Chain A
Amino acid sequence: MKDFSEYKNVWVFCEQRSGKLMNVALELVGEGHTLSREIGPDCKLVALLVGNNVEGLKDELYSYGADSVYVIEDDLLEHYTTDGYTKVIVDAVNEYKPEIVLFGATHIGRDLAPRVAARLNTGLTADCTRLDIKVSDYMDYLETYTTASLAGLDRDDDNKGLKQTRPAFGGNLMATIVTPNTRPQMATVRPGVMAKREPVNGASGELVRVKPDLRKEDINVELLNVVKAAREMVSLTDAKIICSGGRGLGGPEGFKLIKELADKVGGVVGSSRAAVDAGWIDPSHQVGQTGTTVKPDIYFACGISGAIQHQAGMSDSRIIVAINKDPDCPMMKLADYAVEGDLYKVIPEIIALWDEVREG
């Protein structure tokens, strides 16, 4: 066993875009705070802030659980570049030697973290959905949610290594990854999975200004333009979430509500054959035997009774939520979650509660 005693603290790379912190940064500050306390009393949660004129974000980070905020600021860090951010983060890691470094698994996090890990010659685990320090907590998780055997695990084991759990094989398989022989232990973490802490107003902590050693020549990619765009229309086949409406909508105006739901949950609008035949929506939205076959993570079936032709196109969905007045219709039997009720009353509530429950 190598001696890692000089590696201390849990770091979270707190991604900001245009001076605004990404949600996942606050989620990771919360998760990292918990992990740091499990490692030991001397272990701190360090929020790493990289950019230009971003120091002002420190109070927000303290309030969500950061013990320290390390700020690296430079004109050249105004916009994200792989080269610039990699260089300053690697330099900081080499100087301060954190035990764990976490990144949000955003497009930027997944661009940056592999580059940093490769330069540091350490391990990196992608897109984690669970992190554990305490073996007993990890065992509880395995027992409750998985089919894993607990053989070889010991509740009293006080190994403080980071157990990084992530889906693989398209979510069919879960794997827990460890980084036993190198430090820091690095992971990217899926946005929306970890819980933020309740913010403490007026919280404060240590501030460390890290001097970057960065020249223009270090950056090989030139940013020409940034375009903010609404999410492009995803096809039904590729959609992770589909909100479908059927005969139970009662008319074409029902699809306005379905569209609102889809916009809220980041999904795509689907429909049953009945709604298409009634002329309520374009046939390109049709899911089923004569329409598109889909396999989303979540399928909302709103006012769809679930004829076999419709089921043929969506029964492989990972989670099916049915909203229907008729508790005995086939879709309510097929569903993982059957919500009995008037979809015009239920869906607005789901829209209203979505952000609160999801981020709470």
Chain B
Amino acid sequence: MEFSYSREQQMVKQMLSDFCEREIAPIAAEIDEEARYPYETVAKLGELGIMGMPFPPELGGAGSDYLTYIMAVEEISKTDASHGVIVQTHNALCCWPIFTYGTEEQKQKFLPDLLSGKKLGAFGLTEPNAGTDAGGTQTKAVLDGDEWVLNGSKIFISGGGIADTYVIFAVTEKGIGTKGISAFIVEKGTPGFTSPKHENKMGIRGSIAAELVFEDCRIPKENLLGQQGKGFKIAMSALDVGRLGIAAQALGIAQGAFDETVKYMKQRKQFGKTLDKFQALQFEMANMKTRIDGARFLLYHAAWARDAGEDKLSPLAAEAKLACSEAASYVVDKAVQFHGGYGYIKDYPVERMYRDQKITEIYEGTSEVMKMVMAGDIFR
């Protein structure tokens, strides 16, 4: 067992901490306020290799292992969870399924631009009537000659309308439930593919969540990703990978809020002494740290297991996401509380972190789904 950061992990954390301080922190409140997608900083992250971090250099990736990638998402999310989810969605939910299930031609066609960050990727599974229960998917794909014709809509799609390349799930055979779902690669600008509405979200407002609409959208036959009927399996395995990233995002939010609170407590005076001198608050900070560190070990273990090629990743990923998002929920609540009135106004970043945190208990599988996955393993 190895419990120290490797030299490369130290350097990745250091680089990203510098990057966040200089590039992201100054705009974090702004993109939140304006619900503005941070194109410029995302492009810079692409140049640094973050947008294809855990993929092989031959295809344009940076060649990192998954654990180090998870640490990168955590580090970015300490400053801004919107950037965290943008990096995460692109890597885990678009690049990863194409890398894992794509044909050689698909990989050569799509991955170099995606992994270098020149193009952005998104993932379209959720529908008005199919969230946690993907079996309810209604978007249809029908083969017509050399083309698939897509009809239907998706909602809450991270990066929708912004991304260039989408992994989209649609029913190719009705009446057989999840076995009738297939995955497709759809490119922005394809006629019949639009993104009419952006959601007005509570948090992670710098990352866009949008509706996708397909109206007789024709895509080449060769854009079927993986085998026909294997879409549900592709979606679930991508979400397993994705959950580690969302866990990292939650952990980053928790650590960021914790660090902000430490800083504030050293500054803020009440009753003639700074807040860090009050034992009741000190003890609660110890509680918060215990939760953060405990969650971190579960997450790093799950990521390590993925790198080591262990099977049974699903319950480990579910456990990590559950632990990290719950730790974050606990920590942001206390962080705002300890900031008092100042925590309730937008001058201090904990207000934003409080709102950003909530989604980590919901997307890429709610906390309840995480428990379902774990229970399925416990009572196997």
Contact between chain A and chain B defined by CB under 8 Å = yes
* Chain A residues with a Cβ under 8 A of chain B: 273, 289-290, 308-309, 311-312, 315
0 or 1 for each of B291-327: is its CB under 8 Å from A? (1 = yes): 0000000000000000000000000000000000000
Nearest residue (CB) in A for B268 is A308
CB <8 Å contact, B267 and A311:
yes
Contact residues in B for A309 (Cβ distance below 8 Å): 342, 347-348
Residues of B within 8 A of A315 (CB): 267
- Which partner residue on chain B sits nearest A292 by CB separation? B26
Complex Cα spacing A309 to B342, Å: 9
A312–B29 touching, CB < 8 Å: no
Chosen A-B contacts, 15 in total, with CB atoms closer than 8 Å, are A273-B347, A289-B347, A289-B348, A290-B29, A290-B346, A290-B347, A308-B267, A308-B268, A308-B342, A309-B342, A309-B347, A309-B348, A311-B267, A312-B267, A315-B267
B residues within 8 A CB of A290?
A: 29, 346-347
* Chain A residues with CB below 8 A from B346, complex form: 290
Question: Which parts of B14-29 form the interface with A (CB within 8 Å)?
Answer: 29
CA distance A290 to B30 in the complex (A): 10
**Complex: A289 Cα to B268 Cα, angstroms:** 13
Interface of chain B: mostly helix, strand, loop or mixed: loop
Closest CB in chain B relative to A294 CB, distance in Å:
14
Question: Is chain A's binding surface mostly helix, strand, loop or mixed?
Answer: helix
B174-218 interface bits toward A, Cβ cutoff 8 Å, 1 = contact, 0 = none: 000000000000000000000000000000000000000000000
Q: Chain B residues near A273: list those with CB within 8 A.
A: 347
Q: What's the minimum C-beta distance from A272 to chain B, rounded to whole angstroms?
A: 12
Interface string of B323-347 (1 = CB under 8 A from A): 0000000000000000000100011
List, in ascending order, chain B residues with CB within 8 A of A312's CB. Answer: 267
Additional A-B contacts beyond A308-B342, A315-B267 (6; CB < 8 A):
A290-B346, A308-B268, A309-B342, A309-B347, A311-B267, A312-B267
In the bound assembly, the distance between CA atoms of A289 and B347 in angstroms comes to 6
The chain A residue with its CB closest to the CB of B345 is A309
The residues of B with any CB-CB pair to A shorter than 8 Å are: 29, 267-268, 342, 346-348
B268 — which chain A residues lie within 8 A by C-beta? 308
- Measured in the bound complex, the distance between the Cα atoms of B342 and A273 in whole Å is 14
Q: Which residue of A lies closest to B263 (CB)?
A: A312
Task: Across the interface, name the chain A residue whose C-beta is closest to B348.
Answer: A289
**B170 CB to closest chain A CB, in angstroms?**
45
Tell me the smallest distance from the CB of B61 to a CB of chain A, in Å.
Answer: 35
Give 5 closest A-B pairs by Cβ, nearest first.
A289-B347, A290-B347, A309-B347, A312-B267, A289-B348
Interface centre among B29, B268, B347 (most CB of A within 10 A): B347
What residues of chain B lie closer than 8 Å to A289, measured between beta carbons? 347-348
Residues of A within 8 A of B29 (CB): 290
Q: Give CA–CA (A50, B346) in the complex, Å.
A: 60
Name the distance in Å between B145's Cβ and chain A's nearest Cβ: 57
Q: Cβ of B342: which chain A residues have Cβ within 8 Å of it? A: 308-309
Distance in Å from the Cβ of A295 to the closest Cβ of chain B? 15
CB distance from A237 to the nearest CB of B (A): 10
Q: Which residues of A contact B348 (CB under 8 A)?
A: 289, 309
B342 to chain A minimum Cβ distance, whole angstroms, is: 7
Q: How far is the CA of A309 from the CA of B349 in the complex (A)?
A: 12
Nearest CB in chain A: distance from B80 CB, A = 15
Shortest CB-to-CB span from B363 to chain A, Å, is: 29
CB distance from B340 to the nearest CB of A (A): 10
Report Cα–Cα, A191/B29, bound state, in Å: 42
Alpha-carbon distance between A312 and B263 when the two chains are bound, in angstroms? 9
CA–CA, A312 to B269, complex, Å?
Answer: 12
Shortest distance between the CB of A316 and any CB in chain B (Å):
11
Select from chain A the residue with minimum beta-carbon distance to B269. A308
What is the CA–CA distance of A273 and B345 in the complex, to the nearest angstrom? 14
Give the distance in Å from the alpha carbon of A4 to the alpha carbon of B267 in the complex.
56
- For the complex formed, measure the closest distance between the CB of B336 and the CB atoms of chain A, giving whole angstroms: 15
Q: Tell me, in angstroms, the Cα distance from A45 to B47 when the chains sit together.
A: 60
Q: How far is the CB of A152 from chain B (nearest CB, A)?
A: 38
In the bound assembly, the distance between CA atoms of A309 and B263 in angstroms comes to 12
* Chain A: CB-nearest residue to B342: A308
Residues of A near B347 (CB, < 8 A) are 273, 289-290, 309
| Cβ of A20 to closest chain B Cβ, rounded Å | 41
Nearest CB of chain B from residue A107's CB, rounded to whole Å: 27
CB-CB nearest in chain B for A309: B347
Residues from chain B with Cβ under 8 Å of A311 in the complex: 267
Cα(A286)–Cα(B346), bound, Å: 15
A283 nearest CB across to chain B (Å):
10
Report the Cα distance A308→B347, complex, angstroms.
11
Instruction: Report the minimum CB–CB distance from B26 to chain A (whole Å).
Output: 9
- What is the distance, in angstroms, from B108's C-beta to the closest C-beta of chain A? 45
Q: What's the minimum C-beta distance from A64 to chain B, rounded to whole angstroms?
A: 47
- Tell me how far the C-beta of B266 lies from the nearest C-beta in chain A, rounded to whole angstroms: 10
